[in-house]
Structure 1
Amino acid sequence: MTGSPGLLTTIFAFLLVLGPLVLIHELGHYLVGRLFGVKADAFSIGFGKELAGWTDRRGTRWKLSVLPLGGYVQFAGDMNPSSAPSASDARLSPQERAQTFHAKPLWQRALIVLAGPMTNLLLCVAIFAGFYGTYGRVVADAEISGFEAGSPAQAAGLRIGDRIVAIDGERMDGAIDVAGRVAYFPGKTLPFAVERQGREVVVPVTLATREMSDQFGNKARIGDLGVRMTPPLVGGFYGDSPAEAAGLRIGDRILSVNGRPVAGFEDIPALVQPQAGHAVSVAVRRDGQVLTIPVRVTEGTVPDAQGKPQKVGQIGVRAGRLERVAPLRAVALGFDQSFKVMGDMVTGIGQIFTGDRSVRELGGPVKIAQYSGQQFTLGWEAFVSFAALISINLAFINLLPIPGLDGGHLAFYAAELVRRRPLGVRSQEWAIRTGVALVLALMVFVTVNDLASLPIFGG
């Protein structure tokens, strides 16, 4: 198992994730407020006592505060929880009053509030789009190439050669979508639509439950279909691939290695890994012909079941095909991936409310810090991907209609639109106090939850 990063690395990585995300969120509010002529009195990263800051020529106090778990923009006139006018506003000049938040039309106030979570969402889209545009998209067909021992899919009646096209009515775009969807429903029975011999067949499958552990020892309970879905097609090559140098091509179907048949891509590592430094005979089907190609196996390093590095043989072939993505398509895929992540969050929270998942799976700031440090040690790509997930988490949480959050203010504005007048100041203040109390109670709960999961407390 890979050792966890040190405390200083964890704190640094946590601040490196949360600081920019909070900054971007608050900049969304600030910039749209400026667009509509609202003066900002303060812009803070963190809460509580000011550690450092300066005042710009517009009179905005930019500051870094002691508790780095969020931030805020205080607009002119926004001096109480409900953002309602105060008695002191009567002393303002007409020009000053026009720059206050509550003096703006309803639609402008709504856009200012909405801008924060939308900026976090757009950042997530930009990160995913950047990855798609830079590296392309791996396309792997969801064709069943084999079954694991005790496979629930095989027991339910799925067959080798079936191609999974939908799960519970949601269309699947390949093996990656299938794996991601199945993971969220351990022990559940879901209808699987498969393409079989040119027609679509629907088969209900009760998924198995499997506990997965990563290289840092983090455990998760996931659904397991018990299938191998990757046909042994060469979809691409890694680095200085010995297979590519030997003459294998993208699209080749690997039939055997050293005479031992290959049914799915998952069979290849077991046949190649013990052969480091030796040549293996790889039979492939290409354009209707069977070719036998000798490939020299090189030595590489992969983690074992406990996360420890081990030396193994590799031929440098990639499952699925790597599809280049045009810029506009990359943006579309970025939106698609972001909304899928948000949908998975809704599914997970719903399962906690229905009792299908334990509340112990909820994470808070301690767990975010822990994962930040771990992802930081894995390299910038893993770290930036993790930041994208946290960004969309911030967007989602802030859009919840809980008083005190952005979504709560938007709910007040929706009520104002319907009633044609704002809710009473006292009603809003009590609702916001209740919402803040709920949020603080949840923060305390998830923090205790996080601490209880740490090894020092027996987790």
Structure 2
Amino acid sequence: MAILGFLTGYILPFVIVLSVLVFVHEMGHYLVGRLCGIRVTAFSVGFGPELLGFTDGHGTRWKLSAIPLGGYVKFYGDDDAASMPDAGAVAHMSEAEKAQTLAGAKLWKRAATVAAGPIANFILAIAIFAVLFSVYGKVVADPVVAEVKPDSAALAAGVQPGDRLVAMDGNRIKTFDDVRRYVSIRPETPITVTVLRDGQELQLPMVPKRTEMTDQFGNKIELGLIGIVTNEERGNFRVETFTPLQAVSEGVTETGNIVTGTFRYIGNLFTGRMKADQLGGPVRVAQASGQMASLGVAAVVQLAAVLSVSIGLLNLMPVPVLDGGHLVFYAIEAIRGRPLAAGAQEIAFRIGLAMVLSLMVFATFNDISNLIG
């Protein structure tokens, strides 16, 4: 029974969420590639042995594979799922056949086809957030200070109950979520908070404290806090509703917030303000999927939106074997007027594959360490 509960409570939500996101990503590649006249020989959700599939009238093999940790679209003339061209096979093709390969297509067609996968993930995230905001609205709280915690950055800076936070480093804010989002990714980073007090704006410099928190599921997370209690935490908040067009705009904003937060986190890794043990892999994603599933469908869908943005960003990293690596090659080709030599590309792909595998191993190690800890 314990194993069955683990499979249905954690593994199944994880597989469903990831498979949908992978399908959307690869469908972006597929649709734009087809529009650009590039033939597709295989569309797979998952890697490894094929579990089931069919071949359509265009010669594309659609399949569900055994390892649900990604997927791929294989184009005509590709040597592998990472779209490394099969130089030998392409060399023996006619000009008409070469034009149907990814390697033989015009530069702009290749770039559009490769970029379409991550873009599809961003569009999906925006659509999900828009639907959630349209259906459920958005819980918001005004950034008014109800209480200042002792021994906090806010207290040291002179923040008082009743102050309204109106800007962070000059960036105007509307809700307490804006404050939380800005501060949480800036532990031990000096910031200037503008507060409105008795009709006057005051500039208060402070440094958010690095704090380890435990969420409702017992997961430990590290973030920056300034130490204020708002009316939201005392149960005083409102639900904003949106028209469909406003919901789309909010979806774009929410997606943008995830992107900027991710880049800020990466920057904090390099500066030492964040620990690398916050990086998670498939085990942590499976755990999060199960935890969100216990909160209901809306929570799982929201997690899917966040993960969709993450998948889009990950694939845009300038690492060979990822979409971003291909786009770098295309940029070099546009500058040089000719592509990199096949040998140089192959070496770069091998290095890129080693980097991706190392990152996966490191993230999985973090996952296991957190589970054991």
Residue of structure 2 in register with 1:348 after alignment: 265
The alignment yields a C-alpha RMSD, in angstroms, of: 1.9
1:223 aligns with 2:224: yes
**In structure 1, what is the Cα distance between the partners aligned to 2:305 and 2:167?**
27
Greater per-residue helix proportion? 2
**In structure 2, what is the Cα distance between the partners aligned to 1:150 and 1:448?**
35
Residue of structure 1 in register with 2:98 after alignment: 97
| 2:342 counterpart letter in structure 1 | V
Deviations 1:53-94 (A, max 9, x none): 211111111112222111111101122667446233344344
Residue of structure 2 in register with 1:78 after alignment: 78
Deviation of the 1:146 alpha carbon:
2.3
1:47 aligns with 2:47: yes
Residue of structure 2 in register with 1:68 after alignment: 68
Residue of structure 1 in register with 2:143 after alignment: 142
**In structure 2, what is the Cα distance between the partners aligned to 1:266 and 1:405?**
42
1:336 aligns with 2:256: no
Residue-pair matches, total: 368
Residues 167-246 of structure 1 mapped to structure 2, 5 A cutoff: 167-230=168-231
Deviation of the 1:215 alpha carbon:
2.6
Residue of structure 1 in register with 2:316 after alignment: 399
**In structure 2, what is the Cα distance between the partners aligned to 1:448 and 1:386?**
22
Deviation of the 1:442 alpha carbon:
1.0
1:320 aligns with 2:237: yes
**In structure 2, what is the Cα distance between the partners aligned to 1:101 and 1:266?**
54
Report SS of the residue matched to 1:103. Answer: coil
Q: Which moved more, 1:199-208 or 1:16-25?
A: 199-208
**In structure 1, what is the Cα distance between the partners aligned to 2:83 and 2:346?**
6
Residue of structure 2 in register with 1:377 after alignment: 294
Give structure 2 stretches of 5+ with no counterpart. none
Residue of structure 1 in register with 2:18 after alignment: 18
Deviation of the 1:351 alpha carbon:
1.3
CA contact (8 A) 2:75 2:83 kept: no
| 2:67 counterpart letter in structure 1 | L
CA contact (8 A) 1:82 1:428 kept: no
1:435 aligns with 2:345: no
CA contact (8 A) 1:82 1:425 kept: no
1:422 aligns with 2:339: yes
Identity %: 46
Residue of structure 2 in register with 1:360 after alignment: 277
Give structure 1 stretches of 5+ with no counterpart. 231-264, 268-317
Deviations 1:226-264 (A, max 9, x none): 22232xxxxxxxxxxxxxxxxxxxxxxxxxxxxxxxxxx
Greater per-residue strand proportion? 1
Deviation of the 1:17 alpha carbon:
1.0
1:166 aligns with 2:83: no
| TM-score normalised to structure 2 length | 0.93
**In structure 2, what is the Cα distance between the partners aligned to 1:438 and 1:91?**
33
Deviation of the 1:212 alpha carbon:
1.9
CA contact (8 A) 2:74 2:83 kept: no
**In structure 2, what is the Cα distance between the partners aligned to 1:380 and 1:121?**
20
Q: Which moved more, 1:162-171 or 1:422-431?
A: 162-171
